[in-house]
Structure 1
Amino acid sequence: MTPETCARLTRLRHELHEYPELSGQERETAARVATLLQGYGADQVLTGLGGHGVAAVFDSGHAGPTVGIRCELDGLPIQELSSKPYVSKVPGKGHLCGHDGHMTMVLGVAEELARQQPAKGRVVLIFQPAEETGQGAIAFRADPKFDQIAPDYVFSLHNLPGLALGTVELCKGPANCASRGMKIELTGKTSHAAAPQDGVSPARAMSHLMVKLADLGSGGALDADFALTTVTHARLGEPTFGVAPGLAQIWVTLRTVSDARMESLIAGAEALAKQAAAMDGLDVSVSYDDVFEACTNDEQAVQTIVTACAERAVPCELTVVPQKFSEDFGQFGKGAKTAMFWLGAGVDHSQLHNPDYDFPDALIPVGMDVFVAAIRSLTG
């Protein structure tokens, strides 16, 4: 990549950074991406996939595999804390996970494909909405237009603070944990605070359940039996001194390495909720949100990334330890050979979702190089 190209893509990343849009609301970001892709001469640009998803097809016109490269469009509902000139211009919203950088890399790949089309098969560049909620990849794949681009391989990356800058790490097999948000509601009956015996308070059941849920999944080694339960929010009654409570809510995140272990963790958590409610004659309801299935890498796809890194002299390490954080990229593995790899953002870099996080611009050419090398190895 020439210094001029690098500088131009960096400016593009900063512009995307200034105008983040939340999951499911990425209308303007998607429109800008689609316009850029059309300018790069993509053979086909599909919009509105699964919401605001965009896909660009570069077709050789010759038989061969369809290779997908996926990135994310959405930002986060977090106020950015930064003195940088390109700080978010949208109050309460920020690109604090690096999706602005991921998009820029894939747009850079589009420029490379515009200069040199694949020799065989097709390349599909996927700009997916709503990754942060776990709903985007499901909706993208369920869209009828997806059948037009269904890939044989899909590759994606996520920058990773704590890993040396520009270093690639990836797993064979489990790559990212399954997770889901569980909402438990315990319903009794309010009463005057002077006569709590005339109501049905969920306070005791709530306290009991919070302890038991923590014991149910205490973490440990990231193996097949790994289970972690994290209580993230709790509410008992209303903020008043005159009313004994009649309602309690507990929000807990369930996390496992495999989908099978998730099913058993769900069963255990629901049984605890029912037991706690029965203890005091409460009604109980359970619902789920932010559902992410486990992300598992295909061995052949992993080897494609390892080879691409070696070709472009990018340091690469295989590991057997998956990431605890979740990714909806695993949905693409239901119809394709997939690999998610992690690209180091720096050992001392601010953590993802921190208000002072910013994507390292030095990663733009590194991620592009790996993607392009992987594409060339499969499509010539």
Structure 2
Amino acid sequence: MIDEKEHGDVMEIDKELMTKIYDLRRRLHSIPEASMHEMQTKAVLMSFLRENTDLEIVDRGAWFYAVLKSSDDRIGDEERTPIAFRADMDAVCGQDGKPGHYCGHDGHSSILCGAAAWLSRASQNQIINRGVYFIFQPGEEIGAGARLCRDLIIEKNIGEIYGLHNIPGYPRNHVLTIDGTFACASTGLEIHMIGTASHAAYPEAGKNPGPALARLLLEIEELTEEYNRSRGFVRMTLIGMDIGNANYGVAASEGTLRMTVRAEREKVFAGYVDEIKQIAQNTADDGGFTLDIQEIERFPATENHAVNVDKLRKCAADQNIVVTELAEPMRWSEDFGYYLQETKGAFFGVGDGEDHAQLHTAGFEFPDEIIETAVKMFVGLALM
């Protein structure tokens, strides 16, 4: 239950509730599900909320949200528009194709359930004077889930939204903040060129895309260097290149160049990707190749709003939680950026510990010790 103290004091959380949250996290860890297939996970989360809160729960098929109605008539005022919090539900698929909670989404969903239960109890004492939405999102790992859920922001006139990620390599229970971009924009690019086959003895009779794709890779590297000099951080990582096959009597006639590209800012990223596509088209046209370009798992930049980052800092200070300012954005991507295109808000991290196993590795498991800190941050933001 909420312990109502003077502003600035640390709020104490009910130990029985914390035990339930820990148990929920371990239950979720045992049933990992791939992106857009989180039906058992979703059922467990909805059941927890029904048993431990009096919130309205709205099922939207692949995802759901819970809502705590305002106890204050001022809900229509600009300053008291609803607030939202988001957690992701999906697991990571390893090299064997099997899902596992190697990123901590089991912890994120448990944290959001904990905040919902805590605030539900607080509302019985009429502490809450604004609507609060708890969004349980699928498909974050593939950049698909937030696009499904973000219409709720406009539909419910949500004025601000927050999300978090646990992050290894930083002191445990430190809140990690940054002005501007928290996580970079990214997408996979698959550039496929088709020419014409020929006998290996007469390569001039065909069109082999190998040299064209090699030149294209070098041009993209030059473009990347130019962007970094003049427009801010971008990065291209070569994932692979496939040309022809193992038939030594036939010259290659098809080839695919695969890369991941990323950037700190969304506008820069959009221009960077467009220029890569244009260079690829020019290269294909010059060589007489058919071109096909596919984007794989595009993520927007997660660009925080300054006023909401300041709220994060104040919320942490009010509860004696240490804040660590990040020196630069995370290079990985997070689809929370789609929400920040619709309303104000901020994304933050909670440190897992300096020596904690890295995300997306088989040795990773979410540290339960950071759950209470994360719950307090969500609750504190809702009460501000």
Q: TM-score, normalized by length of structure 1?
A: 0.88
Q: Which residue of 2 aligns with 1:85?
A: none
1:232 match: secondary structure: strand
Corresponding residue of 1:126:
135
Task: Select which of 107, 125, 128 maps to 1:101.
Answer: 107
Q: Counterpart amino acid of 2:295? A: Y
Q: What corresponds to 2:309 in structure 1?
A: 302
Structure 1 counterpart of 2:44, which letter? R
Q: 1:9 aligns with which of 21, 26, 34?
A: 21
Instruction: Give per-residue Cα distances to partners, 1:170-213, cap 9 Å, x unaligned.
Output: 12222221112222111111233344333211111122222332
**Structure 2, unpaired ranges of 5+:** 1-12, 76-80
C-alpha separation between the residues in 2 aligned to 1:223 and 1:77?
37
What are the within-5 Å matches in structure 2 for residues 161-310 of structure 1? Answer: 161-218=168-225, 224-310=231-317
* Residues 241-271 of structure 1: CA deviation (Å, up to 9, x unaligned): 3432211111221211112211221232123
Amino acid at match of 1:32: V
Match of 1:73?
A: 89
| Partner AA of 2:165 in structure 1 | H
**Alignment partner of 1:332 out of 339, 344, 347:** 339
Helix, strand or coil at the partner of 1:355: coil
In structure 2, the CA distance between the partners of 1:313 and 1:129, relative to structure 1 (3 Å rule), is same
Structure 1, 221-230 or 68-77: larger mean CA deviation: 221-230
- Over 3 Å counting, the alpha-carbon distance change for 1:107 and 1:162 in structure 2 is same
Aligned letter for 2:290?
D
Cα drift, residue 332 of structure 1: 1.3
TM-aligned CA distance change 1:220 to 1:205, over 3 Å: closer
Distance 1:18 1:205 in 2: 48
CA pair 79-286 structure 1, distance change in 2 beyond 3 A = closer
Query: Residue 351 in 1 paired to residue 363 in 2?
Result: no
Distance in structure 2 (CA, Å) of the matches to 1:311 and 1:167: 14
Change (3 A) 1:316 1:181: same
Q: Which AA in structure 2 matches 1:71?
A: A
Task: Work out the CA distance in 1 between the residues paired with 2:318 and 2:132.
Answer: 20
The one-letter code sitting in structure 2 at the alignment partner of 1:72 is D
* Cα distance in 2 between the residues matched to 1:164 and 1:243: 57
> Which deviates more from structure 2 when the two are superposed, residues 211-220 or residues 334-343?
211-220
Residue type of the alignment partner of 1:14: R
Change (3 A) 1:165 1:293: same
Alignment partner, residue 45 of structure 2: 33
State the partner residue of 1:152: 159
- TM-aligned CA distance change 1:318 to 1:234, over 3 Å: same
Are 1:70 and 1:125, in contact at CA under 8 Å, matched by a contact in 2? yes
1:266 match: secondary structure? helix
> Structure 2 CA distance, aligned partners of 1:122 and 1:359?
30
The CA distance in 2 between the partners of 1:132 and 1:375, in whole Å, is 27
Any idea what SS the aligned residue of 2:42 has?
helix
Query: Does structure 1 conserve the Cα–Cα contact (< 8 Å) formed by 2:197 and 2:252?
Result: yes
Native 8 Å contact 1:21 1:75 kept in 2: yes
Measured against aligned partners, the alpha-carbon deviations of 1:38-74 in whole angstroms (never above 9, x if no partner) come to 22334321112xx511100011342333111111011
Do structure 1's residue 53 and structure 2's residue 60 form an aligned pair?
Answer: no
Question: CA 1:149 to 1:287, structure 2 compared with 1: closer, same or farther past 3 Å?
Answer: same
Asked if the contact 2:186–2:262 (Cα under 8 Å) also holds between the matched residues in 1, the reply is: yes
Partner Cα separation in structure 2 for residue 55 and residue 298 of structure 1: 23
Deviations 1:84-125 (A, max 9, x none): xxxxxxx71111111010111111112202211152111111
Cα separation, 2, equivalents of 1:3 and 1:61:
26
TM-aligned CA deviation for residue 151 of structure 1: 1.6
Question: Distance in 1 between the 2:314 and 2:373 partners?
Answer: 14
Deviations 1:278-304 (A, max 9, x none): 443212222212111111112221122
Moved more, 317-326 or 118-127: 317-326
Q: Give me the whole-angstrom Cα distance separating, in 2, the residues matched to 1:7 and 1:223.
A: 52
Report the more deviating stretch, 357-366 or 114-123.
114-123
Query: Percent of aligned positions with the same letter in both sequences?
Result: 28
Moved more, 201-210 or 230-239: 230-239
Amino acid aligned to 1:41: T
Q: Say if 1:178 and 1:256, in contact at 8 Å, map to a contact too.
A: yes
Cα distance in 2 for partners of 1:338, 1:146 equals: 11
CA positional deviation for 1:3: 4.5
Asked whether 1:18 is paired with 2:30, we answer yes
Unpaired stretches in structure 1, ≥5 consecutive residues? 81-90
* 8 Å contact kept, 1:184–1:251: yes
| Counterpart Cα distance in 1 of 2:194 and 2:111 | 49
Structure 2 CA distance for aligned equivalents of residues 55 and 18 of structure 1: 23
Instruction: Give per-residue Cα distances to partners, 1:211-262, cap 9 Å, x unaligned.
Output: 3323322599799521111122322123443432211111221211112211
| Cα separation, partners in 2 of 1:19 and 1:37, compared to 1, 3 Å | same
1:366 matches 2:373: yes
Conserved 8 A contact 1:219-1:226? no
CA distance in 2, matches of 1:217, 1:254: 9
- Is the CA contact 1:154–1:336 (under 8 Å) kept in the aligned structure 2? yes
